[in-house]
Structure 1
Amino acid sequence: MSKRTATRSQAAEGAVGPRQPCPCGSGKRYKNCHGTARGAGDVIVTRPFEGLAAEGDLVALREFVPSATAKLPLRDGADVTVASVLPMAAAAVKRSDEEAFVGLQVQTRSGDLSRDLARAVEWVREAEAGESLPVVGPDTPQPDATRLQDLIDPDAELDVELHEDFSWWLPEGTEPTGEIKLSLERANAAIMPTARLSTARSAYWVDTGEKAHLRWVRPEPEEKLLAACARLSARGELALDDDSRFAGSFRAHGVLVPVWDLDRDKHPREWDEPAAALGERLTEALQSLESTPLDATERRSRDGLRGRQVTLR
């Protein structure tokens, strides 16, 4: 291989195609987001919450949990709550009762969601009651390199509280009006029943109306996790039980999220024990990879799993 060809191959490795989703999480195609001349100078951080024990839950609240809140474990003890989504998809809100919130399901203006969230935290701490920050942008205070990893305890997990609706947007006893009322009604109408499993970190049961799913945000490197899943699949041990099946996986913010189809007639709590058992099998399979590589059957299984990408609805 010539030097020129090798250089071209190295440049292409890991590159994002113009029609692929932008790694920043905006939902736009790369060519219309950070692939433009305007956004090309912004470094994209593909795994923004790396190094945090709360990474899995932050990704879940950002990607698919409809209505949830959790106190951020800020190092200085300040009282700020992270939320899945805020009124009008705002980046931050300080309610009239002085409660401070930052949102995860927001429009992104940079390639580093962790930095944007840190800016929103700093903004809301100084905001006046009743103020909101529609989006983190170039004019938002703290335009430095501060990231969420600099502000919170990296070893602290999130104590996620799931809500059946979005009434927590407003202080207790407050009646919504105007745009907030309309936004609240639309959000409540679109909510999907969701439960967080107690036996598996960052694992969520979700009822989409047609099916129930388990969506489990995993911290392991993608190829290693796929290999472990392939080992279990080759043994017929990748399902939670006879009333479930592995559906596929999707990538989100640098981590892989395996998905299982579940029996809708079962209560979410009935999946706690099967998920715990599956977690133990995955741990064993991950450990076994250190000494025993995949055999031919397991490699074929891995290739099949790699091609099973799912779309959230």
Structure 2
Amino acid sequence: MGKRSRTKARDEQAATAEVGPRQPCPCGSGKRYKACHGDPNAVPAFVNRPFEGLGSECDIIAMRELVPAATAPLTLADPAYADRAVQLCTLLPTAAPAMVRDSGEIWLGLQVQHHFGDPARDLGAVLLKALDAEPGIVGLTSPPGDGPRLQDLVTADTLDITVHEGFGFWLADVEERSAAMTAALEQANDAAAPTQRLTGADAAYWTSVGSKEHLRWVMPEPEDDLLAALARLHAADKDGLAEGSRLVGMFRAHGLLAPVWDLPIGTGAEVLEEPAARFRADLDKALADPTPLTAEQRSARSGLANRQVTIR
């Protein structure tokens, strides 16, 4: 079986959860499938691409896995809740699944401690609970079972995402802050790496982690097609974004890939706008190229495939 065939077979296995019992679980836990999502008595079946169909799917994945502090308003599809404000958040205090504010606004958290196989179903279940809950924290203590997913409860509009410098939005509507609140906020802010979303590229996020800067860009294309296109650009020396930058690998998260570039210290986000737009145009051309990969391009593709890290 050729490399392309093996990759396609692997992707089809992951998408349907038809994985051998002794193979690694596709959720990225590091456990064998039979001891993780393949155990009917443990957790529900793993959903490979849970956020497909949602507006800004790539940004939602970035918010869940890569971005420290960001928010985006959601619009409920049910006209009965047209006046109910819902905010999608990267992280809430104590990693809460949801909070109902005193105003009645609902905050949904993406970065949570539970993982029941389908994050979109988890979000749907939490949202339904929050709609009927009093102000306070709303969560899940067990798998939610069958029911509507987030896609079924909100419109598919593109999200208006705001990246915050820290978690000050947690307490923006709190007039009297206790010492415990202030301490928790300071602790969360200390752990948040500076992050900015590029304005001219969907789901592309610059971040500084002290000794390094990165651009992490969640892309919607199928893995095999994206790897081939990236290999074409690498072989043509067109995969850089700024002087001294380097495409070093990629994350695999919730069914999509997120290429990662190392950037020289001091690059910042602003100077990446034009190169990112140019790269996206080159990538689109490479994606549309039907010719077989050359030996050099196949070698580049193999190298990229070996530099992937699966998140969850």
What CA deviation, in whole Å up to 9, does each residue of 1:33-77 have, x standing for no partner?
A: 43545325x111011011223110110010010011100133234
- Separation in 1 of the partners of 2:86 and 2:225? 35
Q: Is the 8 A contact 2:87 2:108 kept in 1?
A: yes
Question: Are 1:292 and 2:291 counterparts?
Answer: yes
Match of 1:101 among 107, 112, 116: 107
- Separation in 1 of the partners of 2:167 and 2:247? 31
Q: Is the 8 A contact 2:194 2:207 kept in 1?
A: yes
- Separation in 2 of the partners of 1:68 and 1:264? 23
Aligned to 1:5: none
Amino acid at match of 1:87: P
Q: Is the 8 A contact 2:25 2:36 kept in 1?
A: no
More deviation in 272-281 or 143-152?
143-152
Aligned to 1:118: 124
Aligned to 2:200: 199
Counterpart secondary structure, 1:62: helix
Match of 2:76 among 70, 74, 80: 74
Question: Are 1:152 and 2:154 counterparts?
Answer: yes
Query: In the TM superposition, what are the counterparts of 1:203-222 in structure 2 within 5 Å?
Result: 203-222=204-223
Shift in Å, 1:136? 5.5
Amino acid at match of 1:169: W
Amino acid at match of 2:90: S
Shift in Å, 1:96? 2.2
Question: Are 1:302 and 2:301 counterparts?
Answer: yes
Aligned to 2:171: 170
- Separation in 2 of the partners of 1:198 and 1:232? 23
Compute the TM-score of the two structures, normalised by the length of structure 1.
Answer: 0.85
Amino acid at match of 1:298: Q
More deviation in 215-224 or 51-60?
51-60
Match of 1:61 among 60, 63, 74: 63
Shift in Å, 1:157? 1.3
**Cα 1:85–1:204, aligned 2, differ >3 Å: closer, same or farther?**
same
Shift in Å, 1:174? 2.7
**Cα 1:53–1:16, aligned 2, differ >3 Å: closer, same or farther?**
farther
- Separation in 2 of the partners of 1:194 and 1:159? 16
Gaps of 5+ in 2: 1-8
Counterpart secondary structure, 1:188: helix
Q: Is the 8 A contact 1:88 1:180 kept in 2?
A: no
- Separation in 1 of the partners of 2:176 and 2:251? 39
- Separation in 1 of the partners of 2:190 and 2:174? 21
Counterpart secondary structure, 2:85: coil
Amino acid at match of 2:140: V
Match of 2:140 among 129, 135, 142: 135
In the alignment of these two chains, the number of paired residues is: 293
What CA deviation, in whole Å up to 9, does each residue of 1:119-154 have, x standing for no partner?
A: 12212222212x11243634x6xx532111112222
- Separation in 2 of the partners of 1:68 and 1:220? 24
RMSD: 2.6
Shift in Å, 1:210? 1.2
What CA deviation, in whole Å up to 9, does each residue of 1:235-263 have, x standing for no partner?
A: 00011132311010010011001000112
Counterpart secondary structure, 1:284: helix
Compute the TM-score of the two structures, normalised by the length of structure 2.
Answer: 0.85
Counterpart secondary structure, 2:308: coil
Aligned to 1:256: 257
More deviation in 60-69 or 260-269?
260-269
Aligned to 1:278: 279
Gaps of 5+ in 1: 1-8
- Separation in 2 of the partners of 1:165 and 1:175? 19
Counterpart secondary structure, 1:158: coil
Aligned to 2:190: 189
Counterpart secondary structure, 1:301: helix
Counterpart secondary structure, 2:205: strand
More deviation in 234-243 or 246-255?
234-243
Q: Is the 8 A contact 1:90 1:135 kept in 2?
A: no
**Cα 1:91–1:43, aligned 2, differ >3 Å: closer, same or farther?**
same
More deviation in 256-265 or 180-189?
180-189
Q: Is the 8 A contact 1:69 1:162 kept in 2?
A: yes
